[in-house]
Amino acid sequence: MANVAARAAPQELSSAYPRSSLAWYVAGVLAVAFWVAYLDRMVITLLTPALKADLHLSDTGVSFLQGPAFSLCFAVAGLPIGRLVDRANRRNILVVGILTWSVATLCSGLASSYWQLFSARMGLGIAEACLSPAAYSMLADLFAPRARGRASGVLMGAIALGTASSQMLTGALLKALHGTTTVSAPILGDIAAWRLAFIVFSVPGFLATLLAMTLKEPARRELAASQPSSFLPHLKRHSGLYIPLFASYALNQLFIFAYLYWGPLVFVRTYRLSVADAGILSGAMLVISGLIGGVTGGFLSDALVARHPSEGRLRIVCAIIPMQIAAAAVFAFGGSLPVAIAGFTIIKILSPLISGVTNVIMQDLWPDHMRGQAVALLALMSSAVGSTLGPIAPAVFTDYLFRDEKMLGPALLIVGMLSLGASLALGLAALVALRRSRGLAQP
């Protein structure tokens, strides 16, 4: 393989990066955008019992709302949006995306049928496909390589906070309603409580749109117009590295999304917590673990890459996966609520580590004028495999193999062992391929 390792090593360009205060302000606004995106994306998690009852659905039916409705559109839209990110004004793309997915979340609350809700989730997926390509491309132009891990860690912390907020706020809302399934809302009249949750959660997105409008488009470190558009030739030339790297990440995301959507419901079905209490509990765990995992991962990857410039971040990925396997076993076999909480917390600490470090690897490996497409391809793989199959796989096991929704814990464990085992093997293959490469990658 030709010369990709040196691009993985942080290199300082002669021209100065923007001042630190500006870079971190942009990172903060992007963090707010990620928080809102995951708030809107994950609100459906604890609404599963209400959706099943109101729309007469099975676990599998709800899983298609959680997974394919969102993730397949997210995946399909990602590559063309990524190409647009590499050529057009990223700030404007971000503003339009946030506004559009906020409208889609509002429409989810106004949906009167399964297929209307399915369509709204599709719109959410298409709009959110802009976020990662635009955000990581902007960060690469604002932060020197030695600081990118920390900047990415802030975004990972925001993702964890968004997921946690969706569960805690949904749990608090359901608790405040004291089990009431219908509420009276201004203008809308009497509506189902799950619809109110979608409507309320759409509001922060409209505020985030205004915040994103305060940004200015960062100057690109490399001018795309001066370089040929050679994304596919570059991908093919280094396929021995990129194919196992992308596939490893996608399978790891399958594990992460399976536990993200269904993990909180284990506390309901196995340990008999109420949906509201499970939401507040899992949300609190996500706040703590997400911040620890996101921020720690950024600092750790920056420190290790200073010692091992070409492969430091990938070493972290390969070291984390066995820890995920151990945590999944603890969550499944703990036998008590405190042990299950410990296992779930460890899973949630490790998840942003994997996601954050892998996205920084993309910034390190790919030329500037291809980064939007590279992140979009990573998101496509993650969506097609991870966020599509992740919610579906446990539901299929509970509905068709075990035929018992209380067997959700064992179903999650089976999914975890299969996906993580393959992810580890592919991650090690990518590490070997990276070690074999030499010199600077040519676009």
In a domain, 13, yes or no: no
Confidence of residue 15 (pLDDT cuts 50, 70, 90): low
Spell out the residues 6+ positions from residue 97 whose beta carbon is closer than 8 angstroms to its own.
127, 128, 129, 130, 131, 134
Q: Which domain holds residue 150?
A: 20-220+231-436
Highest mean pLDDT among 81-90, 223-232, 363-372: 81-90
What pLDDT, in 10s, does the model give residues 389-418?
Answer: 888 889 889 888 888 888 888 899 999 999
Confidence of residue 229 (pLDDT cuts 50, 70, 90): low
What pLDDT, in 10s, does the model give residues 239-248?
Answer: 888 899 999 9
In a domain, 348, yes or no: yes
Determine the length of the chain. Answer: 443
Highest mean pLDDT among 135-149, 179-193, 324-338, 342-356: 324-338
Question: For the domain that residue 132 is a member of, what is the CATH number?
Answer: 1.20.1250.20
Average pLDDT, stretch 382-388?
82
In a domain, 274, yes or no: yes
pLDDT at 317 over 80: yes
Structure letter (DSSP) for residue 223: -
Average pLDDT, stretch 162-168?
81
Number of structural domains (the chain) is 1
φ, ψ for residue 348 (rounded to 5)? -75, -25
Closest CA to 142 of 370, 378, 368: 368
Confidence of residue 298 (pLDDT cuts 50, 70, 90): low
pLDDT at 284 over 90: no
Higher pLDDT, 175 or 101: 101
Q: Does residue 71 contact residue 118 with C-beta atoms inside 8 Å? A: no
Take residue 339 and report the two structure tokens written for it: 């042990």
In a domain, 5, yes or no: no
In a domain, 3, yes or no: no
In a domain, 80, yes or no: yes
pLDDT at 98 over 90: yes
In a domain, 14, yes or no: no
pLDDT > 90 fraction of the chain, expressed in percent and rounded: 26
